[in-house]
Amino acid sequence: MTDLSPQIRPVPPTASAPSGSSPDSPSAPPPGTHPGERPEGPAEAAPETVPLTAEHLLTNRRPEPSGGWRRLVWQLSGRRFIPAESAAEMERRTLIAHAQTPVASGHQRIAVMSLKGGVGKTTTTAALGNTLASLRGDRVIAIDANPDRGTLGLKVKSETAATIRTFLAEAPHIVRYADARAFTSQSPARLEILASDTDPAVSEAFDAEDYRTVAKLIERYYSICITDCGTGLLHGAMGATLELADQIVLVTLVAVDGANSAAATLDWLNAHGHAELAKDAIVVLNAVEPKTDVDMTLLERHFASRCRAVIRVPYDPHLKEGAEVDLTRLRPATRGAYLRLAAAAGQAFGLHLSRSR
């Protein structure tokens, strides 16, 4: 698990004053120096500088308490006094700040993948996208790159019958954001989704060249693109997806077979030229049942030793429905888990990535 807390280093003990001198009186200069000269040696640590901003200096600029005793005190004081934030609230603000990190490279591609089906990969795509879109001011889109019938379009209320196939067919005529927006559906959190065909009878194979064409167009109008990949590692679009991805989110069930499939996916990535993506991956341990006999601590420890971050997503009845993902209907613990996932992804947004596009 990525440690988001500040690192505190111990302060070395202060050297004692020379014999015969008081701490308040200046000591004689060491031999070889002249009065007024500073002797050579380790520089004294500069005092911490307090930012002179309204948020730091004005108590009335603290965020309005969302609940608990702090909100009660705030209300009883006539909304004049805002108590200091708790550790949990400060952590939440830190996570939000990470999720809001500007995309230094101009465009970020996140591939959400799993070797095994039915692990909540599409749900994770929608929940991550909704969380990022709800916290940021730029445009976030999720695209369905399943080679067969994809279900990402079911995670948002449909606003158009257009699909990724019609988007490809009209690619030469898409020259502004409004043109691209005509092919997407938008959630209440402002996430846009580019769906795939839901009818297997009319769906066509989605290959690497198709994905590159879509990715190139998406890059013009959106800051973040989250790709819901298929379950296979060898289908046509997967090669281009991994080639262009800036980071991956690997989703696994909290189960023995799911964990082994996720571990095998990391092995495959390492063996096929994607070791950097595997090392920087975020693993999502997705609980699709209320209880499990799996040792979560051991499971988390295994993937934490191989990847950048591990996020536990608890069981949630709203996600079990398999319908549209609405952040407001999630349990607080589930919303917190997806906030940690968005923050972990956001920590890479500030990097100027050198991978070829």
| pLDDT value of position 162 | 93
In order, the DSSP letters of 283-311 are: EEEE--SS---S-HHHHHHHHHTTSSEEE
Distance CA 281, CA 304 (A): 10
| pLDDT value of position 18 | 43
Distance CA 298, CA 98 (A): 27
Q: Is-contact 116 255, C-beta < 8 A? A: no
Overall pTM surpassing 0.95 (yes/no): no
Domain ranges of the chain: 54-85, 96-346
pLDDT along the chain (357 residues), means of 10: 42 42 45 50 57 66 72 82 79 94 95 88 96 97 84 92 92 96 97 85 72 95 95 80 96 92 94 95 94 91 96 95 93 97 96 56
Strands 247-253 and 140-144: unpaired
| pLDDT value of position 8 | 38
Contacts by 316-321, CB closer than 8 A, 24 or more apart: 319/120, 319/123, 319/127, 319/288, 320/288
| pLDDT value of position 65 | 72
Reduced to 3 states (helix: H, G, I; strand: E, B; else coil), residue 139 is coil
| pLDDT value of position 3 | 47
Residue 272, amino acid: H
CATH of domain 96-346: 3.40.50.300
* DSSP single-letter state for residue 160: -
| pLDDT value of position 1 | 42
